[in-house]
């Protein structure tokens, strides 16, 4: 990973909001945003040690499309290093969740916990309050040893919009009533389903194997397929006031059922599964994989071939599907594939995203969803930087819900 201190090079590291940014909120958003999309950092109030100036400056931008706020860039903690409890800054009024709502995001972190040769992409739970305050709530990997918080592939719904939970059938223990009811909702646009809100497991806690509920027809992945998501979880594993943002691997099946497959952080002690900014495609129209050149051991054929596909909307390239590492398994430092020329980054640098991994580390039928830090490089390569769970024991890396911008 090439994180450097000159402004232009750091700008190239910036990615874009989630794949669902290709299809913003319902009818109040354009379905095909073009290359002239306006990003800004005007009005963002930084909090020490995060700063846009000096040797350890930060680059953080946002834009609003309809009722969706998209984020990109990074916050650099410098020599203080990234740690839980830090306030990154405050978003201006137009780009806030609104009201008393709090948004929960699962962000990549980056640094060198073992020295300069040992680059590591970690995970942090970030909250954005209704007043715009952006807080590092939890650092799950290498707390206090990583330097950058990365906002590539992040977005959330602001006030208003055309969100709905019509036809969503809940499953026990996830509640739609009580003091803190489940608030998961969705919107469908341009062949995409976009999600927001939370599902509350109550005193049972979020556990592997639970079915949260079932999405209605028209708001599901294509029949016979599944979308694999990395969702933040929220709870108090060591008691109040120690709120913690964890991680869950969630599968949305073709029949609409939403299954908690893996709770990677504090299983059974977290109360909420969060869906802010996540999403998936409802079909294959406009998607294709022509020109993708896979790198060994990732296979484009066989019994379970790699199915990675892309779809361009102006300068935005969305990804879906998976890459299969076969018996070699998903490991750090692998190159997955090279993207065709028409969807490569236009300037030197890279984008950094978090991707689910998938496999059976304890044998069938114990399927497990892990986490990988993935870099999309200038020139077309997509690389595995870090596998945080069950390195060399998981077979697939999934790209559902990822997007990058071809320009800085």
pLDDT of residue 344: 95
pLDDT of residue 383: 97
- Condensed to tens digits (0 to 9), the pLDDT of residues 204-243 reads 999 999 999 999 999 999 999 999 999 999 999 988 788 9
Q: Is the pLDDT of residue 8 over 70?
A: no
Q: Is the pLDDT of residue 381 over 80?
A: yes
pLDDT of residue 89: 96
Q: For the sheet containing 316-320, what is the strand order?
A: 309-313, 316-320, 402-405
The verdict on whether omega for the bond into residue 173 sits within 30 degrees of 0, i.e. cis, is yes
Mean pLDDT lowest among 9-23, 144-158, 211-225:
9-23
pLDDT band at 259 (very low <50, low <70, confident <90, very high): very high
- Condensed to tens digits (0 to 9), the pLDDT of residues 98-129 reads 777 899 999 999 999 988 778 999 999 999 99
- Burial of 282-293, coded b for 16+ CB within 10 Å and e otherwise, reads beeebbebeebe
Q: Compute the distance between CA of residue 342 and CA of residue 44 in angstroms, rounded to an integer.
A: 34
In the CATH hierarchy, which fold is given to the domain comprising 169-281?
Immunoglobulin-like (2.60.40)
Residue from 96, 99, 46 nearest 76 by CA: 46
Which CATH number is 7-157's, of 2.60.40.2460, 3.40.50.10300, 2.40.160.10, 3.50.50.60?
Answer: 2.60.40.2460
- Condensed to tens digits (0 to 9), the pLDDT of residues 315-359 reads 778 899 999 999 999 999 999 999 999 999 988 888 899 999 999
- Condensed to tens digits (0 to 9), the pLDDT of residues 174-215 reads 977 777 889 999 989 888 898 999 999 998 999 999 999 999
- Condensed to tens digits (0 to 9), the pLDDT of residues 326-338 reads 999 999 999 999 9
Which single residue is written with the structure tokens 């099946």? 253
Which CATH number is 293-405's, of 2.70.240.10, 3.40.50.720, 3.40.50.2000, 2.60.40.2460?
Answer: 2.60.40.2460
**CA R_g for the chain:** 19
Domains 7-157 and 293-405 are alike in CATH topology: yes
pLDDT band at 66 (very low <50, low <70, confident <90, very high): confident
The domain locations on the chain are: 7-157, 169-281, 293-405
């Amino acid at each position: 990973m090439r994180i450097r201190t000159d402004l232009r090079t750091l700008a190239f590291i910036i990615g874009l909001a989630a794949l669902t940014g290709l299809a913003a909120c319902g009818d109040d958003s354009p379905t095909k945003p073009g290359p002239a999309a306006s990003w800004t950092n005007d009005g963002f109030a930084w909090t020490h040690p995060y700063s846009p100036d000096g040797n350890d400056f930060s680059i953080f931008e946002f834009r609003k499309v309809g009722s969706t706020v998209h984020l990109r860039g990074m916050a650099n903690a410098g020599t203080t290093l990234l740690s839980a409890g830090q306030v990154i800054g405050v978003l201006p009024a137009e780009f806030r969740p609104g009201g008393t709502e709090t948004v929960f995001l699962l962000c990549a972190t980056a640094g060198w916990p073992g020295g300069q040769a040992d680059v590591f992409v970690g995970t942090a739970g970030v909250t954005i309050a209704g007043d715009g305050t952006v807080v590092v709530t939890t650092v799950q990997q290498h707390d206090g040893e990583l330097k950058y918080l990365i906002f590539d592939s992040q977005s959330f719904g602001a006030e208003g919009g055309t969100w709905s939970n019509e036809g969503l059938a809940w499953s026990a223990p996830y509640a739609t009533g009580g003091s803190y009811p489940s608030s998961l909702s969705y919107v469908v646009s341009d062949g995409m389903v976009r999600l927001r809100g939370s599902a509350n497991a109550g005193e049972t806690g979020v556990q592997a194997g639970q079915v949260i509920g079932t999405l209605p027809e028209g708001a599901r992945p294509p029949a016979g397929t599944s979308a694999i998501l990395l969702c933040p979880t929220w709870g108090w594993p060591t008691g109040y006031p120690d709120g913690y943002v964890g991680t869950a691997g969630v599968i949305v099946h073709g029949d609409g059922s939403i299954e908690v497959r893996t709770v990677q952080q504090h299983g059974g002690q977290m109360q909420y599964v969060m869906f802010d900014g996540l999403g998936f495609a409802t079909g294959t129209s406009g998607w294709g994989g022509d020109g993708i050149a896979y790198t060994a051991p990732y296979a484009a054929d066989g019994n379970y071939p790699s199915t990675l596909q892309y779809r361009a909307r102006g300068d935005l390239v969305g990804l879906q599907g998976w890459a299969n590492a076969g018996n070699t398994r998903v490991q750090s430092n692998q190159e997955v594939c090279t993207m065709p020329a028409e969807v490569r980054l236009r300037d030197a640098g890279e984008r950094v995203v978090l991707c689910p991994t998938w496999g059976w580390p304890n044998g069938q039928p114990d399927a497990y969803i892990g986490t990988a830090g993935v870099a999309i490089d200038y020139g077309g390569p997509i690389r595995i930087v870090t596998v945080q769970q069950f390195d060399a024991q998981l077979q697939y890396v999934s790209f559902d819900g990822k997007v990058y911008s071809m320009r800085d």
